């Protein structure tokens, strides 16, 4: 029994560390696209799905995945249709999602929805999570040149042959998939934080693209590692996660540019 618990905890830690790399990469490009706040906000698009899943007694991740996917497509479609900045559209979808989520989520489950829950992870769950995190890392790596060109100038990217609209959609979907994988461990609030804070730390430390990506991934991995350590040794789950947010914020404020 003890061996099984240890194996399961090992899976959780390994998967969380791999996810941290994915979140660091996605967060880095999110920061450059000025979508960092969207990380926190998009994660709330999962709330209505989580709430409904709790109500209907089905796997919360299925509910979260459904509303995240639909929300992402809605954001992309509205952005294309209206020409407004992504953050404006995300703000609108966020407000609606949070309202619906708060209304439908049972009181007993709200903490789990917001902060996540440390569940024992099966080998299948571990493999699925690893596949998803690995896919996010590979996809972002594959998209990186197109993302850089689009970030610099959508017009120049389009003239070069980049399908800008498709790149934006792929990135939004990867962004949402990252949040979905993160929801398994951290809940909607902390998943958003893991996308935002390491990227912001990385940006404070360097001016070069490759260094920035590495710094963000490192900050993300160290945060998750430290979080696990705090969680299992010193303080309660919610306090360790609150400390994570405030600790990272202090690093961002203290570091020179």
Q: Please report, as ranges, the residues that interact with other proteins according to CB under 8 A.
A: 32, 34, 144-146, 148-149, 151-153, 155-156, 158-162, 203, 206-212
Q: Which residues of 102-129 are buried (b: 16+ CB within 10 A; e: fewer)?
A: eebbeeebbeebbbbeeeebeeebbeeb
**CB nearer to other proteins: pick between 186 and 200:** 200
- Minimum Å gap between C-beta 144 and other proteins is 8
Q: How far is the C-alpha of 115 from the C-alpha of 59, rounded, in Å?
A: 16
| Farthest-apart Cα atoms in the chain, separation | 60
- Minimum Å gap between C-beta 236 and other proteins is 37
Q: Which residues of 131-158 are buried (b: 16+ CB within 10 A; e: fewer)?
A: ebbeebbebbeebbebbebbeeeeeebe
Nearest by Cα to 171 from 24, 33, 71, 18: 33
- Minimum Å gap between C-beta 216 and other proteins is 10
**CB nearer to other proteins: pick between 68 and 196:** 196
- Minimum Å gap between C-beta 95 and other proteins is 26
- Please provide the DSSP assignment of 154-208 as one string: HHHHHHHT--HHHHHHHHHHHHHHHHHHHHHHHHHHHHHHHHHHHHHHHHHH-SS
**CB nearer to other proteins: pick between 154 and 225:** 154
- Minimum Å gap between C-beta 161 and other proteins is 8
Assigned token pair, 139: 């996809």
**CB nearer to other proteins: pick between 151 and 238:** 151
- Minimum Å gap between C-beta 255 and other proteins is 14
**CB nearer to other proteins: pick between 127 and 159:** 159
**CB nearer to other proteins: pick between 50 and 143:** 143
């Amino acid at each position: 029994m003890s061996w099984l618990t240890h194996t399961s905890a090992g899976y959780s830690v390994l998967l969380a560390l791999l996810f941290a790399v994915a979140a660091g990469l996605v967060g880095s490009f999110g920061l450059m696209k000025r979508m960092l706040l969207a990380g926190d906000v998009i994660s709330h698009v999962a709330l209505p799905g989580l709430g409904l899943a709790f109500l209907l007694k089905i796997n919360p991740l299925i509910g979260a995945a459904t509303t995240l996917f639909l929300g992402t497509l809605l954001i992309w479609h509205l952005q294309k249709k209206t020409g407004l900045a992504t953050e404006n559209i995300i703000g609108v979808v966020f407000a609606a999602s949070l309202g619906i989520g708060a209304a439908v989520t049972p009181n007993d489950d709200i903490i789990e929805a917001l902060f996540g829950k440390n569940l024992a992870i099966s080998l299948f769950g571990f493999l699925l999570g690893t596949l998803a995190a690995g896919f996010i890392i590979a996809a972002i790596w594959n998209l990186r040149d197109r993302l850089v060109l689009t970030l610099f100038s959508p017009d120049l990217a389009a003239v070069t042959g980049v399908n800008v609209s498709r790149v934006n959609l792929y990135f939004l979907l990867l962004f949402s998939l990252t949040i979905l994988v993160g929801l398994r461990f951290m809940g909607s609030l902390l998943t958003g934080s893991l996308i935002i804070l390491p990227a912001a730390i990385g940006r404070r430390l360097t001016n070069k693209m490759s260094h920035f990506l590495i710094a963000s991934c490192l900050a993300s991995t160290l945060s998750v590692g430290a979080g696990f350590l705090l969680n299992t040794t010193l303080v309660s789950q919610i306090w360790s996660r609150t400390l994570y947010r405030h600790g990272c914020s202090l690093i961002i404020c203290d570091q020179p540019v």
